[in-house]
Amino acid sequence: MTSERIKYLKLLSKQFPSVTAVNTEIINLQAILNLPKATEHFISDIHGEYETFKHVLSNGSGVIRGRIDDIFSNRLEYQERQFLAALIYYPRERLKHVKQSEANIDEWFKKNLRYIIEIARSFAAKYSRSKVRKTLPNNFRYITDELLNVNENLMDKEAYFQAIIQTIIDLDSADDFIVTISNFIHDLAIDHLHIVGDIFDRGPSADKVMDELLEHKSIDIQWGNHDMVWMGAASGSLAYIAIVLRISARYGNLHTIENSYGINIRPLSEFASDIYSSYSEEFIIKAGKENLNKKQIDRLNIVHKAISIIQFKLEGQIISRNPDFGMDDRKILDRIDFKKGVLLQDGKEYPLNDTDFPTIDPKNPFELTEAEEEVMNNLRKGFLKSEKLQKHIKFLFAKGSMYLKYNGLLLFHGAIPLDNNGKLKEVKFGKTTNKGMELLDFFDISARTAFFSKRNKKTNSNDLDIMWYLWCGPDSPLFGKKKMATFERYFIDNKELHKEQNNAYFDFRDDVEVIKMILRDFDLNPEKSHIVNGHVPVKVKKGESPIKAKGKVIVIDGGMSKAYQSVTGLAGYTLIYNSYGLVIVAHQKFSSKRKAIEEGMDMISEATYLEKVPKRKRVSDTDIGSDIMMEIQDLKELRKAYNIGLVK
């Protein structure tokens, strides 16, 4: 035994100071290995749709409602089960509604307290008592532990159980107790949550989604291209700040930036109103018009156009100073004939549908005017000083990454860059060439370096530029396309120029051998592992399946964002990985939180087993199980060291 190993065992002995303590811990860990595998949930492409996302979390992707049906199908009517589910999903709101109509609230409490304790006991059964206790909040911890572990059907325990319930009611604590147990059920129904990218943009409440994720006890995040935009903006990238503002303006969400994150956008609005007098139809905002008058909508449309021009200028600057990006075709502004009002592309002239460019100097089309520069520098200060935004982005870095290997699954948001032969594509930045896993590691390090070394003066650092490349670069694993045709979609009516060709990954993701090759590159077993990603909505309405390559690839972007639901026909997918295997859940459109509370209206979800294991998976079959086995081995070594006197 080496001196380093003995030193480690001596440190371990401080935690387990006797043979008895070591034996006790080995027994405990060995028992945990034989518990059923905990339940993991996978969600992608939330896009700020907080209400739908919150409901999916609250009902455990239908798992909680399914458990209610299993327990009470022969004891409660359908509508009663609906209302019981609503009580667990939204306890405070449902309690408030019940109290307005319930004649005998004490009897209602007695009945429903028993119901939710029974449900909680069912979810707690697959976990160790230690884990259950740690999951319980501090308030009601002792009482809840007693109720979960008392068999009230035994003659000697029935009165004891009833006395606890009655005392909770008598002390006016029933409301708080129901809220506590409901949250406890949520935590056990989703033991670990995977967010496979794109929390931000399009929907109105990405900040609320982030607040919700901050409270989750066990979570990881794989960054999406829309997340990277906000991460880059919070890192001080002027181009990313412009993109955040453009998308927020387009979908009527500037209030998130101003009200939620406290960033003043009035100077941008005033600048746009002073400089721009017209806009084309493409700059009319897509959402958020319900409570605005015509003047307010016109101002937002003008802001939308003004920040778009700034974005195109800043992106042109990035491309010019990074020739190895291979994106000269995306500079665009230097290919406009401003006199003719046309775009020159591939030897052809394409007429522009809007020729009002008061801030563009044809001789220096990518140079910001003094007014634009002042606006952007002020906005940059706002993004860097926003405490809430910086808190949210730090959380994305703390819990997130470009990809994750977890229990035999490879999670990433978009694509693994491939060449036209289905091989891993080599991508060069400066003197560095990477492919596959090494390429994603390179991008991960660049993004972290850009954020954690926010240079106040050197705003256009190389790492920030590489971070921008992740948004729209031809070999970006988050983007997955050859080009982003934003300018063409705004200014050119010819739809041929709007097309964005996918990376070869999307041509080969149904090829089992190619997928196995990718899994091998990430050091995963190609026969047993799967890829889980989102990014591209599954067009269910057109017969597309989320299952690719004979089940080796699972795409879980089903359209949680309302902007996509007309294409997908769904309101998103959830993947569940429990002790029985992999289950994909397709969600129908969510009506509203109000209907869920008042009418018991639930989101209709359909679950399908993708892979059902012949033998129920245990903790020993997971990554956590592997770690526990290593702990047991260390403890056995410590016990041996105690027995031979090597460690006192």
- The answer to whether 203 and 47 have CB atoms below 8 angstroms apart is yes
Spatial contact of 454 and 235, defined as CB atoms under 8 Å apart: yes
* pLDDT value at residue 460: 45
Same domain flag for 51 and 31 = no
In whole angstroms, what is the distance from residue 429 CA to residue 431 CA? 6
Return averaged pLDDT per consecutive 10 residues of the chain, 648 residues in all.
Answer: 86 92 93 90 92 87 88 91 92 91 89 92 85 80 80 70 87 91 90 93 92 93 96 95 95 92 95 90 83 84 95 96 92 92 90 93 95 96 96 97 96 95 93 94 95 63 91 94 92 90 92 96 95 83 82 84 68 84 82 82 76 85 93 93 88
Give yes or no for a contact between 647 and 13, defined as CB atoms under 8 angstroms apart. Answer: yes
How far CA 315 is from CA of 136, 302, 322, 365, 468, in Å, comes to: 50, 20, 11, 11, 9
**Pair 227, 328 in one domain:** yes
Identify the pLDDT of residue 278.
Answer: 85
State residue 208's pLDDT score: 95
**In the chain, how many H helices and how many E strands?**
27, 17
Confidence at residue 157, expressed as pLDDT on a 0 to 100 scale? 72
Element containing residue 400 per DSSP (H, E): strand 400-401
Same domain, 161 and 247: no
Residue 513, domain member (yes or no): no
* Domain housing 584: 40-194+555-617
22 plus 45 within the same structural domain? no
> Does residue 509 lie within any of the structural domains?
no
Count CB-CB contacts under 10 A for residue 6.
14
- Boundary (domain end) residue, out of 483, 498, 513: 498
Please enumerate in sequence order all residues whose Cβ is within 8 A of that of 637, keeping only pairs 6 or more positions apart, or say none. Answer: 5, 9
Whether the CB-CB separation of 511 and 422 falls below 8 Å is answered with: yes
Are both 69 and 119 inside the same structural domain? yes
User: Is 529 among the domain residues?
Assistant: no
Sign of the four-CA dihedral 517, 521, 526, 530:
negative
pLDDT at 389: 97
Question: Is the full-model pTM beyond 0.75?
Answer: yes
Note whether residue 143 is domain-resident.
yes
Written as six digits, the tokens of 616 are 């129920």
Report DSSP letters for 193-260, one per residue: EEE-S--SSSSS-HHHHHHHHHT-SSEEEE--HHHHHHHHHHTT-HHHHHHHHHHHHHTT-HHIIIII
Residue 52 lies in a domain: yes
pLDDT of residue 411: 97
Q: Which residues pair with 412 in a beta bridge?
A: 403
The answer to whether residues 24 and 61 belong to one domain is no
- How far apart, in whole angstroms, are the C-alpha atoms of residue 111 and residue 129? 26
DSSP string for 142-201: HHHHHHHH--TTSHHHHHHHHHHHHHHHHTT-HHHHHHHHHHHHHHHHSSEEEE-S--SS
Within a domain: 427: yes
Closest CA to 574 of 534, 613, 542: 534
- The candidate with the shortest Cα–Cα distance to 316, out of 391, 238, 264, 201, is 238
**What is the count of structural domains for the chain?**
3
Same structural domain for residues 302 and 450? yes
Shared domain check, 9 and 69: no
Pairing of strands 573-578, 400-401: unpaired
One-character DSSP codes across 311-336: HHHHHHHHHHH-GGG--GGG--GGGE
pLDDT of 591: 75
> Same domain for 124 and 243?
no
Are residues 57 and 22 both part of a single domain? Answer: no
pLDDT confidence of residue 127: 84
Examine the fold and report which residue of 433, 468, 498 is the final residue of a domain before the chain moves on: 498
Query: Are 393 and 258 in the same domain?
Result: yes
18 assigned to some structural domain: yes
Cβ-proximal residues to 539 (8 Å cutoff; 6+ apart), any chain: 567, 568, 569
Phi-psi region of 3 (alpha: psi -120 to 50; beta: other; left: phi over 0): alpha
In a domain, 531, yes or no: no
- What is the C-alpha separation between 577 and 39, in angstroms, rounded? 6
Q: Are residues 20 and 51 in the same domain?
A: no
